[in-house]
Structure 1
Amino acid sequence: MKLGLFVEPYGRHVAAWRHPNATRQAGVSYAHYRDMARMAEAAKFDFMFIADTNNVWENMDFYSRSNMGAILDPLQLLAALAVSTERIGLISTTSTTYTQPYHVARTFASLDQLSGGRAGWNLVTSMFPGEAKNFSMPKQMAHEDRYERAEEFVDVVLGLWSSFERDAFVEDRATGLFFDPDRLHVLHHQGKHFAVRGPLNVPQSAQGHPVVVQAGSSGPGRELAARTAEVVFTIQQTLSAAQAFYADLKSRMPKYGRRPDQLLVMPGLFIMAGRTESEAREKYEEMQSLVHPKVGLSLLSNLIGGFDLSAYDVDGPLPELPQTNGGQGHQNALVDRAIREGLTIRQLYLATVGGRGHWELVGTPEQIVDQMEERVLKGGADGFNVMPPFPGELKTIIDLVLPELRRRGLFRTEYEGTTLRDSLGFDLPCHARQQPEGIAS
């Protein structure tokens, strides 16, 4: 299976910054991130994944009690980490709703060059309503409109990444020719949302272009992923839900001329491991005891689509909710869990603050790997984005869980090559070998 490290400065658990062993100012410490990156690389993780949002939480009860106010720009951070690492992939989120394709294409192509072909772009359409207010927009763009924009956005980025053929830069000193103009393809894109001439002024990297990652589980999100993504970051709580998502997503690919093995499904996975089950449970309960009730309630409100739950009895059921214009995958997963397990609002937020909606495994290495193995072998995932509860638990996962995975032959002992595509088992993308169909030269 493939394993990515989902990097958060204090850890995935919403109260991780309050843990006695938490590193102060972790969110702005390059040394802290560097040490995590090197540890993950030594353990042979496929990549480190830094999620990002343009949202500043308007609920001050949450914002003032979380670490969300001290987070570095991930692309600048990954550019620095490219110098401190050699093999591990470097993936970051950038929104298609609040950026321009040329910016994204150039920035990620530059990171890809600087890292020797280890970059990945996590494409999102932005799920929080508050993000629009930071970009001169009175309200959030409608869900279907965000995905319509994203469809065109990714086409422009892929077109720009294929501006130059791989052997275009001849650097012929005798003739004075730096690149062969016959191997340059100018985009000349004219669409509903974008008019981009091109070309991009960054050559292709050792892996052709950055790996395209997509985070979205709604219908439009699945369609976009089936057509364009190479890795999907998703959220399912149960094996049956994971199997249904996996089968549906991969069944959509053939109509785009793609094979199912050209896309990896890698859901988030929160892991709290211990040498005994009681040890793991004690650590988990210690983290849970640090959750401030206002933080738990506010986090849940945002993850279910920005609906204010403060007027409802926290020891009563979740009210019936209209479909959100925000992150529909998160909303559906959490509402389904509340119904399936009969959880009150308080019980649901306590079940959410660890993985923040993602699958949680707490127990011994054997218990954890049993469930990881089942989900992969039974068609629910190709691997996982591992979410340590707090940074100290990364070492525990490496020391306890990875050896059990290797004992069963489920995870590598060495990297397969030098690029992220090498690690993930992908060939050079078609856009790195030929001009994308439908794009004028």
Structure 2
Amino acid sequence: MTVRPPKRMHLAAHFPGVNNTTVWADPRSRSQIEFSSFEHLARTAERGLFDFFFLAEGLRLREHKGRIHDLDVVGRPESLTVLNALAAVTERLGLAATVNATFNEPYELARRLASLDHLSGGRAAWNVVTSSDAFTGENFRRGGYLDRTERYTRAAEFVSTARELWDSWTADGAPRPFAHRGRHFDIAGEFTVPRSPQGHPVVIQAGDSDEGREFAASAADVIFTRHGSPEAGRAFSTDVKRRLERYGRTPDDLKIMPGVTVVLGDTAAEAQERAAEIRRQQVSPQTAILVLEQIWGVDLSAYDPDGPLPEIDPVAEPQLTQGRTRRGDTVAIAEKWRALSKEKGLSIRQTVIEASGRQSFVGTPQAVAAELETFVRHGAADGFILVPHLTPGGLDEFVDRVVPLLQERGVFRTEYEGTTLRSHLGLSDPVRKG
């Protein structure tokens, strides 16, 4: 009987800082904006042989009840600029930037991404996000002009147009004219950057709506998802990957990587205690009320964080928070949280802690390595994007204590086998069109 080798997992590192992931008050927490912090986390990820380093980005500081949201980072440098600097202090690590497809233009962004791909030797990636938010749009000439139903239509055409530009140089290295005539873009000219080492930078997508899943199936190489439990992960993976065939793609063409947290301890009890303390630090009494207000859409400052959930229902169009992605059906979320609170006798703060966290792997290094392997082996994900709670040293312990165990199990690389991000992810090179 032939024994199949274990499935290799993919790992990436997310630099946190927007929302309540980061434990700001921890004495080990350092700057969120100084280059030394980005460099430390990136170097740690490369030491751990991770596939890529991932930067989120917001285009406007969020507001809550008319005031700057106090968990946003003020002064965060622009992502592609940071990644170009990181290209000089790393050698193999992929470099992924979040860039909005609603408030940018294909020609300009395609040049910036191709430039990063050249400067890094083929390690660039683009996390495509969209927005129909007029609040964010006020920073741009067109404002919040784009209807929600159009955001993925524009994003799909944006990616397709960028790929036309990346393909516009001939195989022997000469520029040739391009012309794109579409619903959202009407451009023509010559692209100034030669075809880059990867041909096309890797495309990442993070939307979970039906439109987002369809867009990922048609255009993305990686999905950054919040589906953390094995059951939800398998259902999500099955749904997205079944859509690939209609676009002439195979399941290997798309990697599903949920964002996860990891908390380690020398014993299971110690790890659980550390995880509980981290969650308490992440969800302060003030933060618990703020999160609840984002769902209920009304001022709840009079409520006790250690008391019961509100009996009132969420409003249909919450207006308290500006610049944040809507949480979906807030009435359904409220009902789910009430049921959880009633079942376990939880206060507001305890409910937020239990209901709003990412998928967490908590335990000894050996137990966490085994659980990560099981998750991938059972088809719930192709790998993970680690979201540490400390900046910049939150990845150190995982790299030192868990990565060697994954390597011993034969489920993670012991060295980089290629030089490009596509090679790390096992993605084929794009076929030149035109």
TM range (shorter): 0.7 to 0.9
Q: Which runs of 5 or more residues in structure 1 are unaligned?
A: 169-178, 436-441
Question: Superposition pairs for residues 366-381 of structure 1, below 5 Å?
Answer: 366-381=366-381
Question: Superposition pairs for residues 406-417 of structure 1, below 5 Å?
Answer: 406-417=407-418
Partner in structure 2 of residue 241 of structure 1? 232
- Pairwise CA RMSD of aligned residues? 3.0
Partner in structure 1 of residue 183 of structure 2? 192
SS in 1 for 2:63: coil
Partner in structure 1 of residue 222 of structure 2? 231
Is the CA contact (8 Å cut-off) linking 2:267 and 2:364 kept in structure 1? yes
In structure 2, give the amino acid aligned to 1:285. Answer: A
SS in 1 for 2:386: strand
Is the CA contact (8 Å cut-off) linking 2:261 and 2:361 kept in structure 1? yes
In structure 1, give the amino acid aligned to 2:106. Answer: P
Relative to structure 1, the CA distance from residue 240 to residue 255 in structure 2 (aligned partners, 3 Å threshold; closer, same or farther) is: same
Partner in structure 2 of residue 385 of structure 1? 385
Partner in structure 2 of residue 172 of structure 1? none
Relative to structure 1, the CA distance from residue 141 to residue 331 in structure 2 (aligned partners, 3 Å threshold; closer, same or farther) is: farther
Name the CA distance, whole Å, in 2 between partners of 1:271 and 1:427: 31
Partner in structure 2 of residue 287 of structure 1? 278
2:388 is equivalent to residue 398 of structure 1: no
Name the CA distance, whole Å, in 2 between partners of 1:39 and 1:153: 33
Question: Superposition pairs for residues 113-132 of structure 1, below 5 Å?
Answer: 113-126=118-131, 130-132=135-137
Q: Structure 1 residue 321: deviation in Å?
A: 6.9
SS in 2 for 1:213: strand
| Residue of 90, 98, 102 corresponding to 1:97 | 102
Question: Superposition pairs for residues 37-436 of structure 1, below 5 Å?
Answer: 37-59=42-64, 63=68, 65-126=70-131, 130-136=135-141, 139=144, 141-168=146-173, 179=174, 184-290=175-281, 291-299=283-291, 301-302=293-294, 307-308=297-298, 310=300, 315-316=308-309, 319=313, 327=325, 338=337, 341-342=340-341, 345-351=348-354, 355=357, 358-390=358-390, 391-430=392-431, 433-435=432-434
Name the CA distance, whole Å, in 2 between partners of 1:140 and 1:360: 38
Partner in structure 1 of residue 3 of structure 2? none
Q: Structure 1 residue 259: deviation in Å?
A: 0.9
In structure 1, give the amino acid aligned to 2:284. Answer: H
Q: Structure 1 residue 61: deviation in Å?
A: 9.2
Name the CA distance, whole Å, in 2 between partners of 1:105 and 1:15: 32
In structure 1, give the amino acid aligned to 2:252. Answer: D
In structure 2, give the amino acid aligned to 1:19. Answer: D
Relative to structure 1, the CA distance from residue 362 to residue 426 in structure 2 (aligned partners, 3 Å threshold; closer, same or farther) is: same
Partner in structure 2 of residue 438 of structure 1? none
Name the CA distance, whole Å, in 2 between partners of 1:157 and 1:108: 10
Partner in structure 2 of residue 175 of structure 1? none
Name the CA distance, whole Å, in 2 between partners of 1:335 and 1:80: 44
Relative to structure 1, the CA distance from residue 139 to residue 12 in structure 2 (aligned partners, 3 Å threshold; closer, same or farther) is: closer
Is the CA contact (8 Å cut-off) linking 1:272 and 1:393 kept in structure 2? no
Relative to structure 1, the CA distance from residue 322 to residue 404 in structure 2 (aligned partners, 3 Å threshold; closer, same or farther) is: farther
2:24 is equivalent to residue 20 of structure 1: no
Name the CA distance, whole Å, in 2 between partners of 1:254 and 1:41: 34
SS in 2 for 1:423: helix
In structure 1, give the amino acid aligned to 2:290. Answer: S
Q: Structure 1 residue 62: deviation in Å?
A: 7.9
Name the CA distance, whole Å, in 1 between partners of 2:48 and 2:156: 36
In structure 1, give the amino acid aligned to 2:206. Answer: A
Q: Which runs of 5 or more residues in structure 2 are unaligned?
A: 1-8
Name the CA distance, whole Å, in 2 between partners of 1:405 and 1:429: 30
Name the CA distance, whole Å, in 2 between partners of 1:229 and 1:39: 26
Relative to structure 1, the CA distance from residue 329 to residue 119 in structure 2 (aligned partners, 3 Å threshold; closer, same or farther) is: farther
Relative to structure 1, the CA distance from residue 142 to residue 28 in structure 2 (aligned partners, 3 Å threshold; closer, same or farther) is: same
Aligned pair count reads 411
Name the CA distance, whole Å, in 1 between partners of 2:404 and 2:83: 28
Name the CA distance, whole Å, in 2 between partners of 1:282 and 1:426: 40
Relative to structure 1, the CA distance from residue 425 to residue 138 in structure 2 (aligned partners, 3 Å threshold; closer, same or farther) is: closer
Name the CA distance, whole Å, in 1 between partners of 2:62 and 2:351: 20
Relative to structure 1, the CA distance from residue 272 to residue 422 in structure 2 (aligned partners, 3 Å threshold; closer, same or farther) is: same
Relative to structure 1, the CA distance from residue 229 to residue 64 in structure 2 (aligned partners, 3 Å threshold; closer, same or farther) is: closer
Is the CA contact (8 Å cut-off) linking 1:61 and 1:294 kept in structure 2? no
Partner in structure 1 of residue 4 of structure 2? none
Relative to structure 1, the CA distance from residue 143 to residue 360 in structure 2 (aligned partners, 3 Å threshold; closer, same or farther) is: farther
Residue by residue over 1:54-86, the C-alpha shift from the partner in whole angstroms, topping out at 9 and shown as x without a partner, is 131112798463252131111100000000010
In structure 2, give the amino acid aligned to 1:376. Answer: V
Relative to structure 1, the CA distance from residue 157 to residue 311 in structure 2 (aligned partners, 3 Å threshold; closer, same or farther) is: same
